[in-house]
Structure 1
Amino acid sequence: MPVQFLSEAEHKSLNRFPSEVSSEDLNRFFLLSDQELSILKQLRAEHNRLGFALQLCCLRYLGFFPEELQLPKPVINYVAQQLQLIPELLVFYGQRSSTQREHQRKIQALLGYHRASNSDLLNLEQWLTERALEHNQPLLLFHMACEHLKQQKIIRIGTTILAKMVATARTKANELIYQSLQNLLTQDKTTWLDGLLEVEPNEKRTRLSWLQKTPTGNNPQQILETLDKISFLQQHQVDAWNLSQLNPNRINYLAKIGARATNQYLQRASEIRRYPILICFLKQSLYNFTDDLIEMVDQRLWELYNQAKRNFDSDRLMASKTIDEKLKMLQNIGQILLDGDIEDNSVRVKTFEYITPDNLKASLSETQQLIRPENDAYVDYFGKSYNRVRRFSSKLLATLKFQVKGSDSGLLTALNLVHEIHLGRRRKLPDEAPTEFVPESWRPYVQSGQKLNRRYYELAALWFLRQQLRSGDIYLAQSRRFSELETYFIPPKEWSLCRDEVVNLTGTPIDARLRLTEREKELVILMGQVEELLNQPDSDLIEERGKLVLSPFKADEKNLELKRLAEEITTRLPRIEITDLLVEVDSWTNFSNAFEHLNLAQNKDSNTLLSLYSCLLAQACNLDFQQMATSTGLLYRRLCWFNNWYIRDETLRLANNALIDYHYDLPLSHLWGGGMLSSSDGQRFPAKGSLRQARSLPRYFGYGKGVTFYSWTSDQFSQYGSKPIPATVRDATYVLDEILNNETELSILEHTTDTAGYTEVIFALFDLLGMRFSPRIRDLADQKLYRTSNTDLGLYPLLKKHIQGIINQRLILDDWDEMLRLVGSLKMGWVTASLIIQKLQAFPRKHPLMRVLQEYGRLIKTIHILRWYADEANRRRQRATIE
């Protein structure tokens, strides 16, 4: 393990004062208190007062005294101004080293700092080892140690010694991890783990590379291969491995190395590193494959069902001619029956003059086939796909162990019965087989008379299983996305301890009555403003055909001066190579520092940066690495290696955050906005090849498939989040994800979307999280408005008939703490918003938490709509942001 993870230049940089200090840090660390100013007045020479003050601030800011007191001019000026001294006096300070050392001792005593003792170093070593069990990046551990020393009021030790302590802590942490896994590392187990790295003669690949390959589609072949991998891991009891003694961060870190490492790399690694990496990778792979499998099966069933619907529509279209013939026949027979001139005993004769008995029988038979059940779900057409489902359903039921908490309507029993038939233990379904789970539209097909149709019974069970897994009513122990619903929330015992912290973070009161009173007052004020607008004859808000209608904004034409300015700016923009732009922006923002090797501590020289830039450019321009290698003269395998170890989701996020933070500090950015308002929207793109997230959506992709790229943009026009999502899922499901995951300097307090980005649940969650949700809703006049039971509508005669609903406040009061626990789970990272929203939406019967969120969201939505009507300036601001 490398000790020297810091270069000589980095050592020098860490021992001197930074070249820039933010205004916030100036005010926080370099503002002298009255007590400090009083102490400084006791010093004789003016240059000593200035030097003493600067050293005092340095210790408070850095946690150590820099080797040389060379500070940026703004810092010196800031301190000198407080002392009413000339900054140039600093050149006379420190001519006697004894004076500077004596001042440092006094400053230590004044601020409560002390030099590190042997016991302090032992404690630091233990603390670093504990942190190294959580994190492995040496630079991160180094900076964490510096901050720890600062908090303990211990003057930072030398960077060389501290770097060695970090390296020692990392080595010790690896040894402790290895020791904690000794109960798993039996002789048989280590032999098996080493065997994963050996090339199998028949397959010409290692088991490791087989497990590293993740599924890209949802066809039966990939479903079966994923089942093989899960079965392989289960056969070797990976599901029984207990890794609770390891920190989750460390497990994720080691698993990522295992997912990218070659067999040669792991074979060269020591046992202390090799086995923990393989164990964590295999355990994480079991979770990942299980999650992937359920999504693949879900999507496969949905595609087959959609295909059944398309086949039905096609057959219905082809049968239109037959339907016309049957209608004509019915019309003619009806006329015969209704003709009073035809005697009753002659009706049959007259009818058969029009159509022969054989033709009538054939027509009736065809008509029977055209008759569809009342809630037609195309089940018979879906049943034609049984053989396709059967290709993987048997192995699915044999491999996964489904669990249930509460009632499952007999579904697990049904799945066991189907599995026994697959194994040959049964020939048919028993008469007492459960059918409570069968949807109403499936019953005519599943149960005909006293017998159960085995094919439809199995399809119905799998279809209902799909829904139950989505909601969490049925779950898998070895899964993250399809686990029990309760596991996504802060546990009740921990919630009682962290409730106050969540309330402080969100600003949401513990007492629901306080919040409802606040929102009721806001509602009353807005109702009064809207009522006043309706009374004004020249208002933009009018009542038309019983609906509230807003006059559209008129676009402002660009005058000649603005057009000339735009042309001048365009002509002044230089045309440069994209490669030069990439390098220049990096020189401003240092975004390349975010791209760290997953496992090694390496300094980035010019050759490293060249490879990194090439990989980024290839990814951005959708070029393969062979093309990039040919264009740049770099080795293809070198580009692949850099892309594999340096460019990851987390490093891309950190690099993007660096760009956003730099952009945030630019004066021009603040002319556009303060970084507190943002918007999000999705763009749909067709996809080629195998892509699991790709979905069929004829309106946008025709006969192909595609994905939606959902992006979050601040009012400074910086994009702080982006993620691909299925094109068939409503945008609102994902709106909160990147807002809660925002780690930039942007302080998002308000967010706006188009109509697809809103639901009443989203309104509720934004409000409970301490933010404002301001979507631009299409057909606003058709939205139902709500009030509290305390609101006196008699005060608003014109608005009265538009407020139709009353909020169930008792429901909100009863479940307020549960809503806070959900919000706390979102805020503290227990679950993503999109996952929990999808879970709650998937319940066949509305979940109580979903019901109360919708109820509260109706109140917040009403406030938003009334604010939209009442505040023209707000409408213009939000419209400009989303557009």
Structure 2
Amino acid sequence: MARRQILSLSERESLLALPDDELTLTRMAYFSEHDLALICAHRKPASRFGFAVLLCYLKNVGFAPDKKIPPSDALLKHIASRLNLTGDLWPAYLSGRDTTRREHLTELYRYLGVKAFTGKIQQDCITHLLSMATRTDKGILLAEEMLVWLRQNNVIIPAIDVVERTCAEAMAGGDKIVFQTLNAPLTPAHRDALDRLLESSDNQSSRLTWLLQPPGKINGKNVLQHLDRLSSVESLALPEGIDRTIHQNRLLKLAREGRKMSSRDLTRFSATRRHAILVCVLEEARATLTDEVIELHERMLNSLFSKAKRTQAERLQQTGKLIQSKLRQYIDVGQALSDARDSGDDPWLAIENILPWPEFVASLEETRHLARKNNFDPLHIITEKYSILRKYAPRMLSTLQLVATPAAQPLADALVVIKDMYLKHSRKVPATAPLEFVPESWHRVVITPAGIDRQYYEFCALSELKGALRSGDIWVKGSRRYKNFDDYLIPEKDFDKLTPALPLPVSADYHEYITSRMTLLQSRLEEVNAMAALGELPDVEISDRGVKVSPLDNCVPAQVSPLAELVYSMLPRPKITEILDEVNGWTTFTRHFSHIKNDITRPDTRLLLTTILADGINLGLTKMAEACPGSTKSSLEDIQAWYIRDETYSAALAELVNAQGKRPLAAFWGDGTTSSSDGQNFRTGSTGRYAGQVNPKYGQEPGRQFYTHISDQYSPFYTCIISRVRDSTHVLDGLLYHESDLKIREHYTDTAGFTDHVFALMHLLGFAFCPRIRDLHDKKLFIKGKADQYPALQSLISTTSLNLKEIEIHWREVLRLATSIKQ
């Protein structure tokens, strides 16, 4: 089988490295009475010492040290201390006869019941690793599994080159199994169709390239083009469930690899590998296209409603002066009528003294027009853009396969009615069309005296579809983001196996859990109630209006600022390129930017760092190539395509965070167990406006928001890009899915990071949550029992008691959700 480098230099060094903590070394250097008797049977001190070192290594780590892999100095000292010998005897032992060492190893093999690594054992090991190799192609994971298997089977661990070679053969075998598995259900027609995707004429790109194009600007034309792409993928009629025949890790890896390759690159592969990669690319593209079509629809609706609001505001502003004049006019008329009543004069004459009667009648009509609802409610003018929605909605509803829960069935039935109307070219909504899904705010425009308004009915249904997809009440077959909610969770059978030892810091037994929490809640309520009654709560005031917390004072004295400026002025001002080079020299973080196909890193880091810098300062590859001698746009594009990915950035960031945390200076700021997170919005301009998305919190201009988690040592250990969602949606992501060695226990956010759901999940996952809560005086505590038990806290306690029965009913599903999120 093919041999390839699957381990980096650092992975090779770490794989067989001994632990360096004192407790582990002490345990490794422990010898039983039988061990000591065997050691003391050897006459010379160097021979006894060498024999003891070999025994220690074979018994604890499964291999013997030699000249290429010298033993740990710390371990040698522990062994020497245990045997009352000096720790400098190892070189003397190695300089002795090779025959003596081989005899010692043979004796130890018999004593420990272990055997050497032979060709037969290697084949058995490869067979064992094949299962894992079909799930992952990470060399270090295979190597670690190989060492576990060897130790379980009492086999001596061979040289690292042999380990790597064995894993490489297992990986090649795993690749072959994956390719064959994906090809097995394909028919000759499927294979021909896949090959035709790679064909291209002189002036046109291949069909595969067209299928993988991003959606582009938000308009009906681009939605239709994306629906065409999705229909093209569906027309291939790949076997149902082919994406589930291999592990998702391998499918995603092959899909990413295929996306990076040109059609010409793919044609150079064998048919089996080429077709397998194309299947993965298409299955991943199907999910991506489905999600992007739905996202385009959501953004289209958001855009239409935003434009309607702006149009309504502009119209109101244009009629503002006229409204003001009418108000003044009717104030004059009202005053004249009031005066006429007091004096007994003719009221009609009083009105005509203000303005002639025909003008008064005309003014009434003008005022009636100004007072129409559609002048004040943007919902009344949304149908002016109905043609935009009508352009793509029929295709979208006929292409997407929607499935509804019982709660959303009326909406699903309404969408079926709308789809039938499109097919039959009906102009009128059937009187039997479902209306249960129509919100109260839409009733006045959807349901009219003449019947159901078709345009408003469609707008309402498609608008409600957006919310139902987000809530999970409606899901889409083939989608990744909008799939059945249960598919996100650990399967029931697997969860049953995990229940005895859940990876959560709470008890799986509901009664045990709730008893401990209610006891803690009661004791804390009694404590706080007593302090509040005496006015002893620090910086907190509780009254009938609720709770008020005093603002925090700045803990940094004002005298520090001049000193800080002085220190900053003393620091050197190196170039950013020099900083990157120097930090990479300390941490070798560039080793994490490996090739997507073979995980090999670039020996020359100059172009890699140049490409990373282009990303970091948002300069773009063209301008960066022009600014850096020796680099070209094409070379930087190749590096960006093959070496730079989200996962490589995450691994490199973790390397930097870990290195910074080990510096003694970091401990002055914190111990790395506390963190905070916040978002920063950046406006998008030029062509980037089409990729940007609107978050109402930051106005109506499109942008991108970077949501960053920072530890108390000031290291940004996690960053993600969000746009249209609340910060709280991604608070847990940074705490659970960062790759650094930080052990965060307490997390802080601003008001956007706070929701009840996040509070609950933080507790279930073992984090202390400290958000800034807006309108704290309006929040209520829910307790078991009556509020009058705690008179000083009555203004804070809800009159509604905790519904513990509801928690008990859903406790198992709560744990299943939390476990799924953690894993």
Same fold, TM-score > 0.5, yes or no? yes
Q: Which moved more, 1:354-363 or 1:481-490?
A: 354-363
Percent of aligned pairs sharing the same letter: 30
* Correspondence 1:226 to 2:221: no
| Deviation for aligned residue 1:396 | 1.3
> Which one of the candidate residues 639, 644, 647 is aligned to 1:647?
644
- Call closer, same or farther: CA 1:669–1:2 in 2, change over 3 Å: farther
Aligned equivalent of 1:679? 676
For 1:674-823, what aligned pairs fall within 5 Å after superposition?
Answer: 674-688=671-685, 689-690=687-688, 694-696=692-694, 700=698, 704-726=701-723, 728-789=724-785, 794=789, 796-805=790-799, 806-823=801-818
Q: Which moved more, 1:769-778 or 1:163-172?
A: 163-172
Q: Are the aligned partners of 1:17 and 1:66 in contact in 2 as well (CA < 8 Å)?
A: no
* Correspondence 1:623 to 2:622: no
- Call closer, same or farther: CA 1:13–1:508 in 2, change over 3 Å: closer
| Deviation for aligned residue 1:249 | 1.1
Q: C-alpha distance in 1, partners of 2:326/2:705?
A: 45
Q: C-alpha distance in 1, partners of 2:657/2:59?
A: 28
Q: C-alpha distance in 1, partners of 2:435/2:684?
A: 40
* Correspondence 1:494 to 2:494: yes
SS of aligned partner of 1:153:
coil
Q: Are the aligned partners of 1:15 and 1:67 in contact in 2 as well (CA < 8 Å)?
A: no
| Deviation for aligned residue 1:814 | 2.3
- Call closer, same or farther: CA 1:49–1:778 in 2, change over 3 Å: farther
Aligned equivalent of 1:125? 126
- Call closer, same or farther: CA 1:310–1:565 in 2, change over 3 Å: closer
Residue type of the partner of 2:581?
V
Aligned equivalent of 2:398? 398
Q: Are the aligned partners of 2:374 and 2:381 in contact in 1 as well (CA < 8 Å)?
A: no
SS of aligned partner of 1:643:
helix
The alignment of Structure 1 onto Structure 2 pairs a total of residues equal to 815
Aligned equivalent of 2:610? 614
SS of aligned partner of 2:782:
strand
For 1:523-534, what aligned pairs fall within 5 Å after superposition?
Answer: 523-534=521-532
Deviations 1:634-693 (A, max 9, x none): 232121111100100111111111222222333333343222221111112212233667
| Deviation for aligned residue 1:51 | 2.5
Q: Are the aligned partners of 1:17 and 1:71 in contact in 2 as well (CA < 8 Å)?
A: no
Residue type of the partner of 2:764?
L
* Correspondence 1:512 to 2:510: yes
- Call closer, same or farther: CA 1:604–1:310 in 2, change over 3 Å: closer
Q: C-alpha distance in 2, partners of 1:559/1:318?
A: 52
Q: Which moved more, 1:248-257 or 1:487-496?
A: 487-496
| Deviation for aligned residue 1:174 | 3.2
Aligned equivalent of 2:306? 306
Aligned equivalent of 1:198? 199
For 1:155-166, what aligned pairs fall within 5 Å after superposition?
Answer: 155-166=156-167
| Deviation for aligned residue 1:729 | 2.5
Q: Are the aligned partners of 2:709 and 2:717 in contact in 1 as well (CA < 8 Å)?
A: yes
> Which one of the candidate residues 15, 19, 22 is aligned to 2:20?
22
Q: C-alpha distance in 2, partners of 1:25/1:433?
A: 73
- Call closer, same or farther: CA 1:166–1:638 in 2, change over 3 Å: same
Q: Are the aligned partners of 2:607 and 2:636 in contact in 1 as well (CA < 8 Å)?
A: yes
Aligned equivalent of 2:214? 214
Aligned equivalent of 1:635? 632
Aligned equivalent of 1:860? none
Q: C-alpha distance in 1, partners of 2:152/2:130?
A: 18
Q: C-alpha distance in 1, partners of 2:108/2:260?
A: 50
Q: Are the aligned partners of 1:233 and 1:239 in contact in 2 as well (CA < 8 Å)?
A: no
- Call closer, same or farther: CA 1:28–1:90 in 2, change over 3 Å: closer
Higher relative contact order at CA 8 Å, sep ≥6: structure 1 or structure 2?
1
Q: Are the aligned partners of 2:680 and 2:705 in contact in 1 as well (CA < 8 Å)?
A: yes
Aligned equivalent of 2:186? 185
For 1:118-157, what aligned pairs fall within 5 Å after superposition?
Answer: 120-138=121-139, 140-157=141-158
Q: C-alpha distance in 2, partners of 1:783/1:354?
A: 55
Q: Which moved more, 1:246-255 or 1:609-618?
A: 609-618
SS of aligned partner of 1:199:
coil
Residue type of the partner of 1:104?
L
Residue type of the partner of 2:714?
F
Unaligned stretches of 5+ residues in structure 2 = none
Q: Are the aligned partners of 2:594 and 2:602 in contact in 1 as well (CA < 8 Å)?
A: no
Residue type of the partner of 1:440?
E
Question: Which runs of 4 or more aligned residues in structure 1 lie more than 6 Å from their structure 2 counterparts after TM superposition?
Answer: 341-344, 562-565
| Deviation for aligned residue 1:598 | 0.7
Unaligned stretches of 5+ residues in structure 1 = 829-883
Q: Which moved more, 1:217-226 or 1:416-425?
A: 416-425
Q: C-alpha distance in 2, partners of 1:782/1:441?
A: 26
For 1:205-604, what aligned pairs fall within 5 Å after superposition?
Answer: 205-238=205-238, 240=240, 242-335=242-335, 339-340=340-341, 351=351, 354-355=354-355, 358-371=358-371, 378-502=378-502, 505-534=503-532, 540-541=538-539, 543=541, 546=544, 547-556=546-555, 558=557, 570=568, 573-602=571-600, 604=602
Q: C-alpha distance in 2, partners of 1:256/1:553?
A: 49
Q: Are the aligned partners of 2:26 and 2:78 in contact in 1 as well (CA < 8 Å)?
A: no
Residue type of the partner of 1:197?
L
Q: Are the aligned partners of 2:671 and 2:713 in contact in 1 as well (CA < 8 Å)?
A: yes
SS of aligned partner of 1:626:
helix
- Call closer, same or farther: CA 1:479–1:539 in 2, change over 3 Å: closer
- Call closer, same or farther: CA 1:754–1:250 in 2, change over 3 Å: same
- Call closer, same or farther: CA 1:13–1:428 in 2, change over 3 Å: closer
Q: C-alpha distance in 1, partners of 2:526/2:413?
A: 59
Q: C-alpha distance in 2, partners of 1:715/1:341?
A: 76
| Deviation for aligned residue 1:190 | 1.8
| Deviation for aligned residue 1:535 | 5.7
- Call closer, same or farther: CA 1:596–1:150 in 2, change over 3 Å: farther
Deviations 1:373-416 (A, max 9, x none): 59975222111111122222122123222222325353334333
SS of aligned partner of 1:815:
helix
Q: Are the aligned partners of 1:542 and 1:550 in contact in 2 as well (CA < 8 Å)?
A: yes
| Deviation for aligned residue 1:41 | 5.9
Q: C-alpha distance in 1, partners of 2:402/2:374?
A: 33
| Deviation for aligned residue 1:823 | 0.6
Q: Are the aligned partners of 1:376 and 1:441 in contact in 2 as well (CA < 8 Å)?
A: no
Aligned equivalent of 1:113? 114
Q: C-alpha distance in 2, partners of 1:4/1:292?
A: 38
| Deviation for aligned residue 1:22 | 3.4
| Deviation for aligned residue 1:487 | 2.1
Q: Which moved more, 1:259-268 or 1:91-100?
A: 91-100
Residue type of the partner of 1:64?
F
Deviations 1:478-533 (A, max 9, x none): 1021122222222333322222232xx21211222322332233333433443454
Q: Are the aligned partners of 1:677 and 1:715 in contact in 2 as well (CA < 8 Å)?
A: yes
Q: C-alpha distance in 2, partners of 1:302/1:439?
A: 17
| Deviation for aligned residue 1:230 | 0.6
Q: Which moved more, 1:66-75 or 1:30-39?
A: 30-39
Q: Are the aligned partners of 2:12 and 2:160 in contact in 1 as well (CA < 8 Å)?
A: no
SS of aligned partner of 2:406:
coil
Q: C-alpha distance in 2, partners of 1:786/1:389?
A: 45
Residue type of the partner of 2:632?
L
| Deviation for aligned residue 1:151 | 4.0
Deviations 1:545-568 (A, max 9, x none): 6454444444456597x7797577
RMSD: 3.4
Q: C-alpha distance in 1, partners of 2:463/2:787?
A: 49
Q: Which moved more, 1:230-239 or 1:258-267?
A: 230-239
Q: Are the aligned partners of 1:17 and 1:70 in contact in 2 as well (CA < 8 Å)?
A: no
Q: C-alpha distance in 2, partners of 1:693/1:523?
A: 48
Deviations 1:85-122 (A, max 9, x none): 32112222241323323333454455553323555333
